[in-house]
Amino acid sequence: MDLSEFHGFLSNRTSIRSYTGEEVEPEAIAFILSCASTAPSAGNLESWDVVIVTDPDRRSQLAEAALDQVHVAEAPVVLVVCANYVRSMSRYGDRGILYALCDASIAATYMMLAAHSSGLGTCWTGAFDDEEVRSVLDLPQHIRPVVLLTVGPGEQTSGLTARLPVEEHVHLESW
Amino acid sequence: MDLSEFHGFLSNRTSIRSYTGEEVEPEAIAFILSCASTAPSAGNLESWDVVIVTDPDRRSQLAEAALDQVHVAEAPVVLVVCANYVRSMSRYGDRGILYALCDASIAATYMMLAAHSSGLGTCWTGAFDDEEVRSVLDLPQHIRPVVLLTVGPGEQTSGLTARLPVEEHVHLESW
């Protein structure tokens, strides 16, 4: 892949919290999920699950669980990506907690970039009450919601926010 | 971006544990880090750090810390991506632990895909002893190593391993 094109692709993604109200085609969701399934995972266990939420009432309940962030209610689709602790811990014990959180984060990153490649906006929404989200979605206790990824046609209102200079969190050979 | 091209790009990435012994150009590392800095993070705090390890002795020590996985010693570059708990918890308290783990995982996913776009192989290596890695790299206690991402010119020995059918971890509207 052309490097400057790939860098531009990543740089053009910003968090979208303003949605047009248009729907997302089922084919677009299928594409996003198909991309996510190519993500690596610890031991190839794919210790993640996703709940696709489109129902407006449930989106509103999720928005409440997310400290009243309105974009969660307004986005036509919310992909609730979860760590499946049992799937990972059954092989790896306590270490499986880290693995499941990473598996879910990698898969959600793939979803975010797949949506972006489809021209859809996303917002990685991490601020929510775990128990309220569990209650809204009937998640078992061994399933931890990691991110509410809102997805939909949206309006980009600004460019990438300022980033730390690379050298501020890069270390050579040791800390 | 063309959807089938993007899907193919993701599908063509597999974990590479066999390296040719060729070096990685500094420009390639700079490109990978520049891509990672465009990743989203909770509150734009970028609560991740990375230690770039190229020294052969230190790579061998990391391989030992990683349960003697030889590819960690053989890869010319190991990017040790870490969660910076203090950076995140200073704003978000205990919730910052999840955010820092996600921030590090997202940034490492960007690094993995940026390396892939450069024609370099990677292996997301999560199995290691945290304290041994801390010791090898002089990491402070508030820095948690999340992944040893090995990077280098490599030989792809197989295609993508079999994946779960999408429907096995996808749920509609609720669990």
Tens-place pLDDT, residues B61-111: 999 999 999 999 999 999 999 999 999 999 999 999 999 999 999 999 999
3-state secondary structure at position B62:
helix
Q: Which residues of A159-170 are buried (b: 16+ CB within 10 A; e: fewer)?
A: eeeebeeeeebb
* Entry pTM: 0.98
Q: What is the distance between the alpha carbons of residues B57 and B114, in angstroms, rounded to a whole number? A: 26
Provide mean pLDDT across the span A124-133: 98
> How much is the pLDDT for A167?
84
> How much is the pLDDT for B92?
98
Residues in chain B closer than 8 A to A135 (CB atoms): none
Q: Which helix (H) or strand (E) holds B57?
A: helix B56-65
- pLDDT greater than 90 at residue B126: yes
Half-sphere exposure of B140 (CA within 13 A, CB side): 9
Direct distance between the N- and C-terminal alpha carbons of chain B, in angstroms, rounded to an integer: 33
Condensed to tens digits (0 to 9), the pLDDT of residues A6-45 reads 999 999 999 999 999 899 999 999 999 999 999 999 999 9
Direct distance between the N- and C-terminal alpha carbons of chain A, in angstroms, rounded to an integer: 33
> How much is the pLDDT for B157?
78
Residues in chain B closer than 8 A to A38 (CB atoms): 7, 10-11, 13, 160, 163
- pLDDT greater than 90 at residue A159: no
> How much is the pLDDT for B98?
98
DSSP letters along chain A, please?
--HHHHHHHHHT--B---B-S----HHHHHHHHHHHTTS--GGG---EEEEEE--HHHHHHHHHHTTT-HHHHHSSEEEEEEEEHHHHHHHHTTHHHHHHHHHHHHHHHHHHHHHHHTT-EEEEE--S-HHHHHHHHT--TTEEEEEEEEEESB---S-PPP---GGGSEEES--
Instruction: Tell whether A3 is within 8 A of chain B (Cβ).
Output: yes
Residue among B84, B99, B118 minimizing CB distance to A126: B99
> How much is the pLDDT for B166?
85
Higher pLDDT, B159 or B109: B109
> How much is the pLDDT for A46?
97
> How much is the pLDDT for B167?
84
What residues contact B26, with CB distance under 8 A and at least 6 apart?
none
Residue among B84, B99, B126 minimizing CB distance to A99: B126
Average pLDDT, chain A: 96
Note the Cα A127 to chain centre separation in Å: 12
Q: Which of B52, B55, B89, B102 to mutate to test the interface with A (most CBs of A within 10 A)?
A: B102
Torsion of CA A55, A56, A60, A63, to 10 degrees: 70
Q: Do the Cβ atoms of B166 and A1 come within 8 Å?
A: no
Instruction: Catalogue all structural domains in chain B, each as residue range(s) with its CATH number.
Output: 30-154 (3.40.109.10)
> Which residues 60-79 of A are in CB contact (within 8 Å) with B?
none
Residues in chain B closer than 8 A to A44 (CB atoms): 161-163
Q: Which band of pLDDT confidence, cut at 50, 70 and 90, is reported for residue B159?
A: confident
Note the Cα A163 to chain centre separation in Å: 20
Q: Which band of pLDDT confidence, cut at 50, 70 and 90, is reported for residue B13?
A: very high
Instruction: Tell whether B91 is within 8 A of chain A (Cβ).
Output: no
Provide mean pLDDT across the span A94-112: 98
What residues contact B93, with CB distance under 8 A and at least 6 apart?
none
Is the confidence metric ipTM above 0.85 for this complex?
A: yes
- pLDDT greater than 90 at residue A158: no
Name the residue among B36, B62, B44 with its Cα closest to residue A167.
Answer: B36
Residue among B38, B137, B170 minimizing CB distance to A52: B170
φ, ψ (nearest 5 deg) of residue B165 = -55, 135
Q: Do the Cβ atoms of A160 and B38 come within 8 Å?
A: yes
> How much is the pLDDT for A29?
97
Instruction: Tell whether A18 is within 8 A of chain B (Cβ).
Output: no
- pLDDT greater than 90 at residue B29: yes
Residues in chain B closer than 8 A to A169 (CB atoms): 46, 48-50, 84
Instruction: Tell whether B86 is within 8 A of chain A (Cβ).
Output: no
> How much is the pLDDT for A113?
98
> How much is the pLDDT for B129?
98
Residue among A46, A51, A173 minimizing CB distance to B53: A173
Residue among B6, B13, B35 minimizing CB distance to A114: B6
> Which residues 38-57 of B are in CB contact (within 8 Å) with A?
38-40, 42, 44, 46, 48-55
3-state secondary structure at position B88:
helix
Q: Do the Cβ atoms of B51 and A175 come within 8 Å?
A: yes
- pLDDT greater than 90 at residue A1: no
φ, ψ (nearest 5 deg) of residue A58 = -70, -35
Q: Which band of pLDDT confidence, cut at 50, 70 and 90, is reported for residue A115?
A: very high
Q: What is the distance between the alpha carbons of residues B56 and A150, in angstroms, rounded to a whole number? A: 43
**Tokens of residue B91, six digits:** 């704003």
Q: What is the distance between the alpha carbons of residues B18 and B110, in angstroms, rounded to a whole number? A: 21
Provide mean pLDDT across the span B133-138: 98
Angle, CA A100 vertex, CA B125 and CA B38 arms, to 5°: 65
Residue among B53, B101, B160 minimizing CB distance to A38: B160
φ, ψ (nearest 5 deg) of residue A109 = -65, -40
Instruction: Tell whether B85 is within 8 A of chain A (Cβ).
Output: no
Note the Cα B123 to chain centre separation in Å: 8
Q: What is the distance between the alpha carbons of residues A112 and B113, in angstroms, rounded to a whole number? A: 13
Note the Cα A36 to chain centre separation in Å: 10
How many residues does the structure list for chain A?
175
